[in-house]
Amino acid sequence: MIKLPQIYAWELIILDFNEANLLVKYSYMISELAEKSALSNRIDPALYTKYDVKRGLRESNGKGVLCGLTEISEVTSWKEENGKRTEIPGILCYQGYNVKDLVKNCIAENRFGFEETVYLLLFGKLPNRTEFEDFCEMLSEFRVLPRNFVRDIIMKSPSKDMMNMLARCVLNLYSYDPDPDNVNIANVLRQCIQLIAQFPMLAIYSYRAYRYYNTNDGSLIIHKPKPEYSTAQNILHILRKDSEFIDLEAKVLDISLILHADHGGGNNSTFTTHVVTSSGTDTYSSMAASLGSLKGPKHGGANVKVMQMMQNIKENVHDWSEKNVTDYIDKILKKEVFDHAGLVYGMGHAVYTLSDPRAEILKLYAEKLAVEKGKEEEYHLYETVENAAKQLINEQHKLSKPVCANVDLYSGFVYSMLNLPADLYTPLFAISRVGGWSAHRMEELINGNRIIRPSYHCVKSDQKYIPMDERE
């Protein structure tokens, strides 16, 4: 057990007190300035139509604007025959391999697959046994954080938000790198592999530090990763106080890591990787920017919203019959209950229509884990929510395409059955996705050759300068 000086808590209190005074002093002025900002930045929505602006880099039909090429992964939800577009069950491929096949074969061979998936994303081929074992050994050795990093960076300034803390840790690792700014392919690859290996420790140690200083947890437990363990096994090992877990738990977590490892070049955080990389900046800055994107509730933070919604349903629907659940989902959609946003979180996707393959796979293993944990009734609640939402969303919104459950609907449920804290749900997404970001960073460096700079049309009219004393 590590104990830091008691003065640390007082330092935080002093900082909070000073910040509070500043906020009180300037609160009225900031409110006024916020109103001015809102008024000055408002653009007439009709202008977006006039200038044919692809808002969100999307065409009017919702299809993403083509702005790059990739071989790393492909997301497919439709096929075209004789000029006619037909919706099909969703397909996710990594380097041409269907993710369902990757998961199926790992399970059939009774082994962990996340490391193999990372290798595939980075190098475009499945490793043979020797390549796989060498790669796993390298990841294992790279899991060791720099000397005193945990004490000096993680323990001395814990944060309530693990994604912000993870980004801060990544930026601090720049200072421990002997050649941080070199964008030579070999150097960047080394940096990426190190980050892939270190992300679990950065996230979980940060969580443990925060719990120790800001809750009644009482104990600070820091387990070192085990070299013989996979990424999934090490996550459970270093997170749990007793380091105990069963094989099914580690296997299901491994599958979740595989499913979240990449999702095409156009998702917000991966596109961020491409954009920032194109500027020629260092690996740590690029990864920190992608983490900032992933933190957003419209992206990586969506599974937390699912869990909040499901908790609200449990608190207000005591009989989980199909009718009662459907009636409550109807109220959510009508903005009468929960967060009044009118959204059923975990339903719908920008690309997938008939099905999200990640949700299909995770749902299957969520059921297996639910049987093991005695959570079958709760699993059926999730199924009921999924079926009710599909029907009601289509009825109320009269959509031109079907709505399916996305991966977030079942990922939060899986994490809760694994007793993973909600604070780590989005960081777990990052632990998975850093492999994909790394592959896309390499691809951008090798093929990009120019900075990404889309166009914005200015619709502000010319203004005549007024001397300060003549202004209203």
Q: For 195-215, write each residue's pLDDT tens digit.
A: 999 999 999 999 999 999 888
Mean pLDDT across 303-319: 95
Higher pLDDT, 6 or 466: 466
Q: Mind listing the pLDDT tens digit for each residue in 6-32? A: 434 434 444 566 777 887 888 889 899
Q: Within 13 Å and on the Cβ side, how many CA atoms surround 357?
A: 25
Mean pLDDT across 455-464: 94
Higher pLDDT, 439 or 301: 439
Q: What's residue 17's pLDDT?
A: 64
Confidence (pTM): 0.92
64: which strand partners?
58
Instruction: Please state, as a whole number, how many other Cβ atoms lie within 10 Å of the Cβ of residue 467.
Output: 6
Instruction: Please state, as a whole number, how many other Cβ atoms lie within 10 Å of the Cβ of residue 76.
Output: 15
Mean pLDDT across 268-291: 98
Q: Mind listing the pLDDT tens digit for each residue in 101-160? A: 999 999 999 999 999 999 999 999 999 999 999 999 999 999 999 999 999 999 998 999
> What value does the mean pLDDT of the chain take?
93
Tokens of 198: 């270190």
Q: What's residue 353's pLDDT?
A: 93
Whole-number CA gyration radius for the chain: 24
> Which of the four pLDDT bands, split at 50, 70 and 90, describes residue 2?
very low
pLDDT at 427 over 60: yes
Q: What's residue 16's pLDDT?
A: 61
Q: Where in the chain is the domain with CATH 1.10.580.10?
A: 90-295+424-447
Q: What's residue 14's pLDDT?
A: 46
pLDDT at 75 over 50: yes
Higher pLDDT, 412 or 58: 412
Mean pLDDT across 416-435: 97
Name the CATH architecture for the domain at 90-295+424-447. Orthogonal Bundle (1.10)
Give the Cα separation of 205 and 211 in Å (integer).
10
Q: What's residue 184's pLDDT?
A: 97
Mean pLDDT across 169-193: 98
Name the CATH architecture for the domain at 302-417. Orthogonal Bundle (1.10)
pLDDT at 325 over 70: yes
pLDDT at 4 over 50: no
Q: Where in the chain is the domain with CATH 1.10.230.10?
A: 302-417
CB-based burial label for 431 (10 Å; 0-12, 13-18, 19+): buried
Give the Cα separation of 356 and 265 in Å (integer).
17
Q: What's residue 216's pLDDT?
A: 83
Q: Mind listing the pLDDT tens digit for each residue in 355-406? A: 999 999 999 999 999 999 999 999 999 999 999 999 999 888 777 678 999 9
